[in-house]
A = this chain, B = another copy of it.
Amino acid sequence: MTTLTIGIIGAGRIGRIHADNLLRLPEVKLAAIADLFAGDELREWAAARGIDRVTTNSDEILGDPSIGAVFICSSTDTHVPLILQAAAAGKHIFCEKPVSMDIRRTREALEAVRKANVKLQIGFNRRFDHNFRRVRELIREGRIGDTHLVKITSRDPNPPHPDYIKVSGGLFMDMAIHDFDMARYLSGSEVEEVFAQGAVLVDPVFAEHGDIDTAITTLRFESGALAVIDNSRRAVYGYDQRVEAFGSAGSAAADNDYPNTAVISGADGIVRDKPLHFFLERYNEAYVEETRQFVDSIVRGLPLPVDGNDGLQAERIALAAKRSVELNRPVRLSEIE
């Protein structure tokens, strides 16, 4: 069995999820984890998992020739420099979304990856969700005929912390970017034009940072199909992640996942528990699957399931959506560099 030695840069929530999932893969040796703020807590966490090296300096990982691939889970502003450095070192790269908030920088990173001939997978975990994947399969099998319309509902249970809002890049780049990727994934077509409407209805703090908390975005694809996405930063009943694709021969729709199927019928009505709370619960298995496929693409030479271009295109749509809200007009994707 070929073994892939991996280092993780960034030991926040998502970095640790990837670590735990990688530990379940027999082909992987998780050799090191780097975090600017690495301390005793992280060292203990790593020790319990048999991860030998913990460092505050990502260079230790990027400079280690025994490491074949890196997971970049640090803050967005570090993604491009780390990708450039990793590519130069000939390492395969898994990078969280977005690559950057500046399309030119993203292109630069992609170019470096291309030249170095390494693999770059972007963390669009929702492509690996069992529900959405099944909808995509049904579309690919022709079960809905020609796709006319894709509808995506994407609402978070709770807004992020105000400190994060400031640096998040805004609703489109931080949150809806997943939905833009999903629209491309389901439709199998590229976006031509974007119109987005935004509102601040959840919390005025979003307005204070020039952001919005509610949005409807419509997309027109090259194929002629349309898509519409609704986003909210707060759904009191839990994480609301549904898709529907409609076509000439029918529709395929995926509902939320629930913690159980129990239903209680009482004098006041019929009640069931809320959907799975948030992305850690809902996309638990999807995270496992995306790391497995990343590792497979390297170890078994399979194609990447989500590549750098997928990251770039979603970023362009996010920028177009943002501009559309600012200008209150449709924005063609060709206007975004």
Contacts and interface: CB of A to CB of B under 8 A. Distances in A.
A243 to B, nearest CB: 9
A252 interface: yes
Interface bin, chain A: 35 or more
B329 A237 contact: no
A232 B254 contact: no
B220 A197 contact: yes
Interface in A259-310: 259-275
A224 interface: yes
Interface stretch (A2-10, A87-95, A138-146): A138-146
A201 interface: yes
A174 interface: no
A45 to B, nearest CB: 12
A261 B149 CA distance: 19
Interface in A315-337: 328-330
A26 interface: yes
B236 A267 contact: yes
Contacts of A105: none
A202 B224 CA distance: 11
A12 interface: no
A104 B135 CA distance: 47
Interface in A178-205: 195, 197, 199, 201-202
B149 A232 contact: yes
A235 interface: yes
Interface in A192-241: 195, 197, 199, 201-202, 214, 216, 218, 220, 224-226, 228, 230, 232, 234-238, 240
A274 B266 CA distance: 8
B236 A266 contact: yes
A220 B196 CA distance: 11
B255 A246 contact: no
A264 B330 contact: no
A131 B260 contact: yes
B138 A262 contact: yes
A264 B236 contact: no
A214 B201 contact: no
A156 interface: no
Nearest to A236: B267
A236 B332 CA distance: 32
B248 A254 contact: no
B267 A262 contact: no
A274 B270 contact: yes
